[in-house]
A and B are shown apart, each in its own frame.
Chain A
Amino acid sequence: MPDALLPRRPSFPGWTGDLTRVPFWVYSDEALMKVEQDQVFQGPVWNFLCLESEIANPGDWRTTFVGQMPVVVARGDDGSIAAFENRCAHRGALICLDNAGSGAKDFQCVYHSWRYDLRGNLRSVAFQRGVKGKGGMPPGFRVEEHSPRQLRVTILNGLVFGTLSDNTPAIEDFIGPDVLARFERVLGGRKIEIIGRFVEVLPNNWKLYAENARDSYHASLLHLFFATFKLNRLSQGGGLVVSPNGGCSVSETIAPTELDDNSYAGMRSVDDGYRLEDLRLMDVVDEHPDRVRHQIVTVFPNFVLQKTQNAMALRFFTPKAVDRTNLEWIYFGYADDTPEMRKRRLRHLNLGGPAGFVSMEDGCVGGFVERGIATAGNESAIVEMGGDSIASQPTRATEASVRGFWSLWRQVTGL
């Protein structure tokens, strides 16, 4: 093949500083999307695929995305879970055309009826031997040599993750012991039940949301609702944990002990006169042996596990264009919730999601950045709160986990 036809690695403006300066071109460079698909999403990371309970029985399946790659996750006859690219080996058409299904014995591409087993292995080709001795595939064609790409799958506390790289460490090592403990806190030993599923279409690059989810500094400054009701002031107890690889994190807030708090004096978000009429939005029942009221866990590159009061949600987000990202919210409860607890979760969920009292701003703020940096590709963001390290810190007035994200991103992209 002539060199001109080979894909060439695009050249980028470069990242000259350290992790405290993030060049703005990373949010707007079209060519970077391809590099991120290959190096990040298909690289040595764990991508959230679905809940184990969504595909509880053999023949159950779901479709999702690994970055921009369409993927099928299915439970096989032996009860094991497999994931593979949703792309027919023949002409590349989607194999599964819906969000989910059940009772499948196999999958058949609608275009030319090529048939796959539940693990994504090509099993048969229509008219492989031709018709009446004419046509068909050459005798040397072997179906077992042609399948869409298959993912390695792992399960963590009922959540299914997949990777396309042989070099991805076990998920427990990838997220590290501190993040693992927070998964265990919310999900360990519990049967979970989905109670809602919505998609928020973000007008920004996916990494702006990845940063936002890790950014404990903004929470009580952008989200006035938190501060006013003392849900999440930086002066409350809590802290930030960053995984050894930098890419995963925990932000925690402990229930307030002092009623009066002047650390926000002079800022926009001071309004001590603001009170709710219906206090059931705040009637928290502690479900774990601690006083943590708000916990955000992130896993590189695009997964979030959230528990705020008694509301629980998974979030994952995938790029649709350089400046458009689908943020999927999966609301859940425990299968053994009492009716009262379930109602409480429904009320507390008003804090999250596309219309959430403390999350709606996250839907628009990435777009504010995207529009603000329209001509600033050669300029940089300042990410220096809490210094330049990516170490865990006993405060949330830090951007350590944002720097951690970039540390791992730079490692896997080589940029």
Chain B
Amino acid sequence: MSALLRVAGLNAAYAATIDADRLEAWPDFFVDDCLYKITSAENHKRGYSAGIVYADSRAMLRDRVTALRTANIYERQSYRHIVSLPVLGATGADSIAAETPFLVARIMRDGRTDLFASGVYVDRIHDEPEGLRFQERIVVCDSSHFDTLLAIPL
């Protein structure tokens, strides 16, 4: 299978996992020593290092899921990710660079559906025998505005 299709398949599985509320499986898309960050195009361009979510280990991703399940208070909501085809960058022996545009609709418990976020995933993907996993996934949202709160990961 081509690298393009493999990365597209990874993205599709990632989105389906979040949208189907299988958040406990979400950290498994990352290597142990990963970086997951949600930022915005303007922050990214200015080289600002902080994100609204910043996790530099898979354990931190698991902690975030635990917090969402047991500690944080937010109204029931779900996402629908629409993920486009990736544009592949430099490919090494065991790594692939990719950038993939996305849209996320947020569906609230009262029935309202809004376009919650658009942006691009800027990824470094580790190519290992068991499959592809994210070494780094920087979620670069087009806007720096976030409505109400961000609970479920993008």
Q: A residues engaging B (CB < 8 A)?
A: 194-203, 222, 224-225, 228, 271, 274, 276-278, 280-281, 326, 331, 342-343, 345-347, 349-350, 353-357, 360-361, 363-365, 367
Contact of B63 among A277, A331, A346, A367 (CB under 8 A): A277
Central interface residue in A196, A345, A355, by most chain B CB within 10 Å: A355
For the complex formed, measure the closest distance between the CB of B28 and the CB atoms of chain A, giving whole angstroms.
14
The reply to whether A196 and B43 contact each other, CB–CB distance below 8 Å, is yes
CA distance A231 to B66 in the complex (A): 17
For the complex formed, measure the closest distance between the CB of A391 and the CB atoms of chain B, giving whole angstroms.
31
The reply to whether A364 and B73 contact each other, CB–CB distance below 8 Å, is yes
CA distance A364 to B71 in the complex (A): 15
The reply to whether A347 and B56 contact each other, CB–CB distance below 8 Å, is yes
Central interface residue in A196, A342, A356, A365, by most chain B CB within 10 Å: A196
For the complex formed, measure the closest distance between the CB of A231 and the CB atoms of chain B, giving whole angstroms.
11
CA distance A40 to B42 in the complex (A): 31
The reply to whether B72 and A224 contact each other, CB–CB distance below 8 Å, is yes
Q: Contacts A201-B148, A367-B148 known; A196 to B73 CB distance under 8 Å?
A: no
Which B residues lie within 8 Å of A349 (CB)?
50-51, 54
The reply to whether B53 and A350 contact each other, CB–CB distance below 8 Å, is yes
The reply to whether B59 and A278 contact each other, CB–CB distance below 8 Å, is yes
Q: Which of B79-123 contact A (CB under 8 A)?
A: none
For the complex formed, measure the closest distance between the CB of A98 and the CB atoms of chain B, giving whole angstroms.
11
| B60 closest partner in A (C-beta) | A278
CA distance A331 to B53 in the complex (A): 13
The reply to whether B149 and A355 contact each other, CB–CB distance below 8 Å, is yes
Which A residues lie within 8 Å of B64 (CB)?
350, 357
For the complex formed, measure the closest distance between the CB of A339 and the CB atoms of chain B, giving whole angstroms.
10
Q: Which of B100-154 contact A (CB under 8 A)?
A: 144-151
Count of chain A to chain B residue pairs whose CB atoms are closer than 8 Å in the complex: 121
Which A residues lie within 8 Å of B73 (CB)?
222, 224, 361, 364-365
CA distance A196 to B75 in the complex (A): 27
| B72 closest partner in A (C-beta) | A360
CA distance A360 to B68 in the complex (A): 11
The reply to whether A198 and B144 contact each other, CB–CB distance below 8 Å, is yes
For the complex formed, measure the closest distance between the CB of A344 and the CB atoms of chain B, giving whole angstroms.
11
Which B residues lie within 8 Å of A367 (CB)?
148
| B39 closest partner in A (C-beta) | A196
Contact of A354 among B43, B49, B149 (CB under 8 A): B149
For the complex formed, measure the closest distance between the CB of B98 and the CB atoms of chain A, giving whole angstroms.
24
For the complex formed, measure the closest distance between the CB of B118 and the CB atoms of chain A, giving whole angstroms.
15
B57 within 8 Å of A (CB atoms): yes
CA distance A196 to B140 in the complex (A): 13
B12 within 8 Å of A (CB atoms): no
Q: Contacts A346-B51, A350-B53, A350-B54 known; A200 to B148 CB distance under 8 Å?
A: yes
The reply to whether B151 and A355 contact each other, CB–CB distance below 8 Å, is yes
Which B residues lie within 8 Å of A203 (CB)?
147-148
The reply to whether B150 and A278 contact each other, CB–CB distance below 8 Å, is no
Contact of A346 among B42, B50, B62, B67 (CB under 8 A): B50
The reply to whether A198 and B71 contact each other, CB–CB distance below 8 Å, is no
Which B residues lie within 8 Å of A200 (CB)?
145-146, 148-149
Contact of B149 among A199, A225, A331, A363 (CB under 8 A): A363
The reply to whether B150 and A355 contact each other, CB–CB distance below 8 Å, is yes
Which A residues lie within 8 Å of B49 (CB)?
195-196, 342, 346
CA distance A194 to B144 in the complex (A): 15
Q: Contacts A224-B71, A274-B71, A277-B62 known; A360 to B51 CB distance under 8 Å?
A: no
Q: Contacts A196-B48, A360-B74 known; A225 to B144 CB distance under 8 Å?
A: no
The reply to whether B150 and A346 contact each other, CB–CB distance below 8 Å, is no
Which B residues lie within 8 Å of A363 (CB)?
148-149
For the complex formed, measure the closest distance between the CB of B94 and the CB atoms of chain A, giving whole angstroms.
25
For the complex formed, measure the closest distance between the CB of B74 and the CB atoms of chain A, giving whole angstroms.
6
The reply to whether A201 and B145 contact each other, CB–CB distance below 8 Å, is yes
| B153 closest partner in A (C-beta) | A355
Which A residues lie within 8 Å of B145 (CB)?
198-201, 326
Which B residues lie within 8 Å of A346 (CB)?
49-51, 54, 56
For the complex formed, measure the closest distance between the CB of B30 and the CB atoms of chain A, giving whole angstroms.
13
For the complex formed, measure the closest distance between the CB of B119 and the CB atoms of chain A, giving whole angstroms.
13
**28 CB < 8 A contacts A-B:** A195-B48, A195-B49, A196-B51, A197-B43, A197-B48, A200-B149, A222-B73, A224-B70, A224-B71, A225-B72, A271-B71, A277-B66, A278-B63, A281-B60, A331-B50, A347-B54, A347-B60, A350-B53, A350-B55, A353-B52, A355-B38, A355-B150, A355-B151, A356-B52, A360-B149, A363-B148, A364-B73, A364-B149
CA distance A285 to B67 in the complex (A): 23
Which B residues lie within 8 Å of A280 (CB)?
57, 60
